[in-house]
Amino acid sequence: MEKVKQKFENWRRSRAKLGRIPEDLWDAAVNLHKEYNISKICEVLGLQHSKLKSRILEANKKIDISPKYIQLDMNMHQQQAYQNEWSVEIEKADGAKIKISSKSSKMPDFALLCQSFLKGRS
Rg (CA), the chain: 24
Q: Which helix (H) or strand (E) holds 86?
A: strand 86-91
Pairwise pLDDT comparison (42 vs 16), residue with the higher score: 42
Whether 106 shows a pLDDT value over 80: the answer reads no
| Cα distance between residue 25 and residue 11, in whole Å | 9
**Of 13 and 63, the one with more pLDDT:** 13
- The model's pTM is 0.51
Q: Do the beta carbons of residue 55 and residue 30 sit within 8 Å?
A: yes
